[in-house]
């Protein structure tokens, strides 16, 4: 487990290849929760089509990683062990206006020497500050089924996972009642960088 303020690497890995790599800062790391902060100015890797250089929405047979700089918001990710989602919070830049929550449906995380590995499941839930919510990227999940990237049974389980989170949300259960909206990072924390070995995928 890491200490508050330590760097941590968050990677999405698809079929043994890196899809996304983001450096972050540890806010909490214990047996119940890992919280990681992604600061504006953070340099990360995102997927683009190998031939055209266009950003990709979902994995395919060929992609490469492109350098990018995160500037749109301040971003806190909450990971619970063993569950197929993470819960994010957003604040605007440059002011600290809370912009809402985001339920990212994904694989349960796996620890690595550098941080956490997992893969996004395409379907998401957007939650406004007043805790009203809506599904996001249903079209992406439907497309993934139609092209044979995933099965319908797999997609149905992803949706059921989202429905379980919605039940917690509507009951105002943790983490939606824990006061994370008022959290701020230590101003002395540097913007984290991708560590040496970020591109090495464990077998």
* Three-state secondary structure readout of 74-129: EEEEEECCCCCEEEEEEEECCCCCEEEEEEEEECCCEECCCEEEECEEEEEEEECC
pLDDT bin (cut points 50, 70, 90) of residue 72 is confident
How does residue 58 score in pLDDT terms, banded at 50, 70 and 90?
Answer: confident
As to burial, measured by CB atoms within 10 angstroms (0-12 exposed, 13-18 middle, 19+ buried), residue 184 is: exposed
Q: Within a 13 Å sphere around the CA of 12, how many CA atoms are in the beta-carbon half?
A: 20
pTM of this structure:
0.95
Q: Rounded mean pLDDT of 79-104? A: 97
Architecture of domain 7-181: Beta Barrel (2.40)
- For residues 79 and 116, the answer to whether their CB atoms sit within 8 Å is yes
pLDDT-based confidence at 88, cuts 50/70/90? very high
Taking the domains of the chain in order of start, what are their residue ranges?
Answer: 7-181
Tens of pLDDT, residue by residue over 9-52, are 999 999 899 999 999 999 999 999 999 999 999 999 999 999 89
Phi and psi (nearest 5°) for 44?
-140, 180
What are 44's strand-pairing partners? 68
Distance between CA atoms of 193 and 38, rounded to whole angstroms? 11
Higher pLDDT, 117 or 61: 117
Bond before 63 cis per omega within 30 degrees: no
- Rounded Cα distance between 19 and 24, Å, is 16
* pLDDT tens per residue across span 132-177: 999 999 999 999 999 998 999 999 999 999 999 999 999 999 999 9
More confidently predicted of 58 and 41: 41
Q: What pairing do the DSSP bridges indicate for beta strands 98-106 and 34-38? A: unpaired
pLDDT band at 62 (very low <50, low <70, confident <90, very high): confident
Query: Cβ(108)–Cβ(83) under 8 Å?
Result: yes
């Amino acid at each position: 487990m890491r200490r508050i303020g330590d760097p941590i690497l968050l990677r999405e890995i698809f079929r043994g290849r890196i899809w996304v790599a983001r450096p972050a800062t540890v806010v909490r790391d214990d047996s119940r929760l890992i919280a990681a902060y992604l600061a504006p100015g953070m340099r990360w890797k995102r997927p683009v089509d190998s031939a055209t250089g266009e950003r990709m929405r979902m994995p395919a047979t060929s992609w490469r990683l492109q350098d990018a700089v995160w500037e749109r918001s301040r971003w806190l990710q909450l990971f619970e062990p063993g569950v197929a989602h993470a819960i994010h919070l957003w604040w605007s830049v440059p002011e600290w206006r809370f912009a809402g929550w985001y339920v990212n449906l994904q694989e349960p995380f796996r620890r690595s020497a550098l941080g956490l590995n997992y893969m996004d499941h395409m379907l998401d839930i957007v939650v406004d500050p007043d805790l009203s919510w809506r599904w996001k990227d249903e079209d992406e999940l439907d497309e993934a089924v139609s092209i044979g990237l995933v099965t319908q049974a797999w997609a149905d389980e992803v949706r059921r996972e989202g429905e379980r989170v919605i039940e917690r949300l509507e009951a105002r259960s943790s983490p939606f009642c824990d006061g994370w909206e008022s959290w701020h990072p230590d101003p002395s924390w540097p913007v984290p960088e991708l560590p040496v070995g970020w591109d090495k995928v464990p077998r």
